[in-house]
Amino acid sequence: MSAVLTFQNVTGKDHKFHLQDINMELKPGYIYSLIGKNGAGKTTLMKYIIEEHSRYEGTIFVNDTDIRKNHVNAMKDIGFVSEEHVFFGNRTGRQNVELLGGFYDNFDMGRFEQGMKQMGVSPYVTYKSMSRGEKMKFQIAFAMAYSPCIYLMDEVTAGMDPVFKLEYFDILRNLIRDESCSVLMTTHIISEVERQTDYVAVMEEGCMGEFRESADCMGEEFA
């Protein structure tokens, strides 16, 4: 089974965060969580994947594509959900999709609409008028529409109401059910990884430990 995301000896410095010799290989069909205090380097790790001209040593593969060599194609296999993900604020969710969906070869408008309906978000509200939670839900629905192999979710659950958090993890389980993709989520909230994710790794001061089964880590103090 091919890995959906691989880091090989990735080391680099982004502003004040220094990542040190990161190695990981994520297989499809699982929810992986990366936990650590704010400032541990979790978001920097995401930026190395998302930002085309990130400076680092080592190699990052998305679905066997070296992102340095073909970043545009690699991004078509990534569903990125984060406060830093930029959309057109004055356009509705549907208008954003009509403008941006064409960049993805297999974008499915029906799947987008189904995701928005499932999460209770209107596609006819402007992006800037959406609450933080609605923006995160819109981004998930947008990513679902082009079926990426890896979903990157950076502190998405922060500020979500407890009821939707349960629904959110149900959505993630449905995404990986056919084992065609995986989820990598970052969080500093320990309780979210103990029962809701499959594997967890700890990041501290730019260093990342090995992924371990979440059940084996229950009760440990990570951050």
pLDDT in tens, 56-75: 999 999 999 999 999 999 99
Q: What is the full DSSP assignment across 97-164?
A: HHHHGGGSTT--HHHHHHHHHHTT--TTSBGGGS-HHHHHHHHHHHHHTT--SEEEEESTTTT--HHH
Query: Average pLDDT of 209-222?
Result: 69
Residue with the larger pLDDT of the pair 39 and 11:
11
Burial environment of residue 108 by CB neighbours within 10 A (0 to 12, 13 to 18, 19 or more): middle
pLDDT in tens, 183-215: 999 988 777 777 789 999 999 888 898 899 986
Q: How far is CA 32 from the centre of its chain?
A: 10
**Both ends of the chain: CA-CA distance in Å?**
32
Q: Does domain 1-77+152-161+183-223 have CATH number 3.10.180.10?
A: no
pLDDT in tens, 86-145: 899 999 999 999 999 999 999 999 999 999 998 889 999 999 999 888 898 899 999 999
- Residue percentage of the chain with pLDDT more than 90: 56
pTM reported for the whole predicted model:
0.90
**The pLDDT value given to residue 73:** 92
